[in-house]
């Protein structure tokens, strides 16, 4: 029998070992807990959920039970902390942060797409020397200036007229480069003994752009009789719309909104706005 070199036998043994290793690795399940490169896409109404040991979702993204799309971030007790979408047609694309009791404390507006919905923001007013006046030609009694955040403006005031005196109270607003615009006018009377009269103004921020500067003033004028009238501001704030009827009219073209940002890293030919969806049963289903 011919002699076989030892180095050849060693090479054959190494080859057999490598074949066994390759065969074993082929049967092993690859690691499924890491994605190092590429884009992950879930389509066709799919969803992704992270479920805690108690069965509650800490994160779910995909299609809601009502067919709309959004994202749900939850606490370990199952209550919603942050949602995008859900809660019906009117609020399907809203972003909301929730209290543990289920109240939305931060959100965009359900009907006015360009505005903040919550929180409601106070409008600070400053009195002038004309807060008490006997002017028959008109005196500015209060001023306020702020940035427009929410779509609806509310103001509560009270005016005192002495006996046998009548007055007019005007609320006016101006935007940079514009002129004073009347938002509301009230007539008040002191009657036979003098009295305070309360009035409220609720008005959409018509033709105003989100975050535009606005200045208001309250003017009061004695229209009959003689005496001093006084106006107080009881409170004022900006708030979300309660119905579609409170949606502000669109601003002029010169004040139109900026283009919305697109989704980072969206491939060519894919929609720029990819809204995730959720199927989590504990997600809130209430309209706000």
State phi, psi for 287 to the nearest 5 degrees.
Answer: -85, 150
Contact (CB, 8 A) for 208 and 214: yes
3-class DSSP state for residue 254?
A: helix
Please list, residue by residue across 187-225, b when 16 or more beta carbons sit within 10 angstroms of its beta carbon and e when fewer do: ebbbeeeeeebebebeebbeebbbeeebebbbbbbbeeb
Q: In 3D, which of 54, 81, 65, 76 has the Cα closest to residue 280? A: 65
Each domain of the chain, given as residue ranges in start order, spans 48-111, 121-242
Give every CB contact of residue 2 below 8 A, 6+ residues apart in sequence: none
Please give the pLDDT value at position 258. Answer: 53
77/79 Cα distance (integer angstroms): 6
Could you give the residue ranges of the DSSP H alpha helices within the chain? 6-27
Cα atoms found within 13 Å of the Cα of residue 110, Cβ hemisphere only:
18
In the prediction, which pLDDT does 45 show?
Answer: 84
Check residue 181 and give its pLDDT.
96
Residue 281 has what pLDDT? 36
Helix, strand or coil, per DSSP, at residue 125 = strand
**Element (DSSP H or E) covering residue 275:** none
Q: Please tell me the predicted confidence (pLDDT) of residue 253.
A: 75
CA 183 to chain centre: 25
Rounded Cα distance, 177 and 189, in Å: 35
DSSP 67-91: S-EEEEEE-TTS-EEEEES-SSSTT
| Residue with token string 């003689």 | 226
121-242: CATH class:
mainly beta
Tokens 């992704």 -> residue: 48
| pLDDT for position 121 | 98
Distance (Å, rounded) from C-alpha 156 to C-alpha 235? 5
Sign of CA dihedral 158, 162, 164, 166: negative
pLDDT (tens place) for every residue of the chain, 288 residues total: 566 566 788 888 888 888 888 877 767 766 677 788 888 888 888 889 999 999 998 999 988 777 778 899 999 888 999 999 876 555 667 899 999 999 999 999 999 999 999 999 999 999 999 999 999 999 999 999 999 999 999 999 999 999 999 999 999 999 888 899 999 999 999 999 999 999 999 999 999 999 999 999 999 999 999 999 999 999 999 999 999 999 999 988 765 545 545 444 444 433 333 233 333 333 333 333
Distance CA 108, CA 115 (A): 6
Q: Distance between terminal CA atoms of the chain?
A: 93
Q: What Cα–Cα distance (Å) separates residue 277 from each residue in 15, 234, 272?
A: 52, 44, 16
Q: Are 127 and 139 in contact (CB under 8 A)?
A: no
Tell me which residue of 151, 159, 158, 147 sits closest to 123, measured CA to CA.
147
Q: Which residues contact 218 (CB under 8 A, 6 or more apart)?
A: 125, 140, 141, 142, 157, 169, 170, 171, 172, 231, 233
pLDDT of residue 20: 84
pTM of model > 0.75 = yes
């Amino acid at each position: 029998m011919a002699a076989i070199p030892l180095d050849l036998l060693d090479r054959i043994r190494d080859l057999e070992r490598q074949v066994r290793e390759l065969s074993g690795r082929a049967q092993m399940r690859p690691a499924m807990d890491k994605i190092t490169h590429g884009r992950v896409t879930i389509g066709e109404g799919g969803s992704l959920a992270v479920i805690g040991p108690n069965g509650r979702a800490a994160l779910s993204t995909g299609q809601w039970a009502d067919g709309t799309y959004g994202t749900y971030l939850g606490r370990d007790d199952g209550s919603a902390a942050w949602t995008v979408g859900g809660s019906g047609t009117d609020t399907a694309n809203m972003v909301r942060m929730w209290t543990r009791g289920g109240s939305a404390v931060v959100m965009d507006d359900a009907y006015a797409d360009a505005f903040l919905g919550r929180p409601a923001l106070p409008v600070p007013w400053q009195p002038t020397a004309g807060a008490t006046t006997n002017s028959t030609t008109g005196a500015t009694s209060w001023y306020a200036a702020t940035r427009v955040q929410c779509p609806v403006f509310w103001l509560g005031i009270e005016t005192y007229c002495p006996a046998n005196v009548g007055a007019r109270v005007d609320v006016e607003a101006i935007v940079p480069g514009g002129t004073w615009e009347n938002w509301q006018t009230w007539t008040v009377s002191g009657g036979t003994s003098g009295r305070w009269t309360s009035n409220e103004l609720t008005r959409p921020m018509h033709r105003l752009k989100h975050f535009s500067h606005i200045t208001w003033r309250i003017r009061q004028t004695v229209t009959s009789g003689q005496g001093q009238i006084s106006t107080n501001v009881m409170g004022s704030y900006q708030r979300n719309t309660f119905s579609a009827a409170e949606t502000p009219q669109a601003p002029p073209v010169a004040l139109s909104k900026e283009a919305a940002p697109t989704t980072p890293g969206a491939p060519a030919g894919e929609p720029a706005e990819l809204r995730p969806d959720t199927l989590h049963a504990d997600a809130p289903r209430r309209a706000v």
